[in-house]
Amino acid sequence: MNTDSNVYTIVYSIVLVVIVAVLLAVVNQGLKARQEANKLLDTQKQMLVALNQDIDNCDDPAALYDSLVKDTVMCGESPVIVFEVEGQTKYMLRLHGQGLWGGIGGYMALNDDCNTVFGINFNHESETPGLGGEIVTEKFRSQFFNKHIKDAQGNLRSIAVLKEGKQAPEGQEQVDAWAGATITSTGVSDMLAANMEEYRAFLMEKTEQCCAQADKKCCTGQACCTADGGCKDGQCCDQCSCAKDGQCCANCSCQDCQCQTKCKED
């Protein structure tokens, strides 16, 4: 065969491409199991961070994850991962949305009241370092700790991410946006709102069950607490629980170790 001909060049190129493609396919298939394992481990680490676990000093994050995870509950097509941390139930919700340059996501861990944020973790594909990319930092994440996704009446409201000086609608809690990263911060706020709606059926089930109880001794919203008390730090405060600081839930005072039915502001 004439090695200087066009036919030789074309045939040689085709054979070379086929060989390389086959080799790449074989390597990819051989590494697929390891790739899937690494992807699973990364997901587990992200959820452990949302559970406020110190994975930097953990020798085996996968074993730690397995020791904490208890169950998976489906809300439509969205999974809710159930964990137990120090004897308390935590519900993990998956977050996904859009930032300035690409997708953003993460995980939010809620206390058993399906209202109070226990922890949260964010990730991003390509947000600007020093600006939108800072959503992954502890400084930004920690603002969400102990915030509530429902208002005092138990209505689902999410958490707003707003620039300094702006105020969320009445009844909705908020955190500060990252300075200079308005679009990414707005993306996080929109992501939270959309994802809370995605999990609405699961999140509101506990409130509905609570409000149906005769004694209403639970605290997914003040409307579901006892008639002579209210909610404080995710707990119903009535009877002697109010005497420690002389107040029962925000604006209600105590008399003789009992919470007054009417609040001061009323």
**pLDDT in the model for residue 263:** 44
Burial (CB count <10 Å: 0-12, 13-18, 19+), residue 28 = exposed
What does DSSP say about strands 173-176 and 159-162: parallel, antiparallel, or unpaired?
parallel
What tens-digit pLDDT sequence spans the chain (266 residues)?
A: 667 778 888 888 998 999 999 998 888 888 777 778 888 899 999 999 999 999 989 899 999 999 999 999 999 889 999 999 999 999 999 999 988 788 899 999 999 989 999 999 998 877 666 676 788 889 999 999 999 998 877 788 999 999 888 888 888 999 998 887 788 889 999 999 999 999 999 998 866 666 555 455 555 544 455 544 555 555 555 544 444 444 555 445 555 555 555 444 43
CA dist., res. 131 & res. 126, Å (int)? 11
CA dist., res. 95 & res. 50, Å (int)? 11
**pLDDT in the model for residue 236:** 59
CA dist., res. 208 & res. 189, Å (int)? 26
Give the number of C-alpha atoms closer than 13 A to the C-alpha of residue 62, restricted to the C-beta side. 6
The structural domains of the chain, with segments of one domain joined by +, span: 55-204, 225-259
Burial (CB count <10 Å: 0-12, 13-18, 19+), residue 82 = middle
Q: Of 173, 152, 170, which Cα lies nearest the Cα of 225?
A: 152
CA dist., res. 123 & res. 79, Å (int)? 19
Q: Of 193, 127, 184, 112, which Cα lies nearest the Cα of 160?
A: 193
**pLDDT in the model for residue 210:** 60
- Tell me the Cα Rg of the chain: 26
Amino acid identity, position 50 = A
H helix intervals, the chain: 6-50, 61-68, 138-141, 182-198, 200-211
**pLDDT in the model for residue 166:** 86
- First-to-last C-alpha distance (Å) of the chain: 100
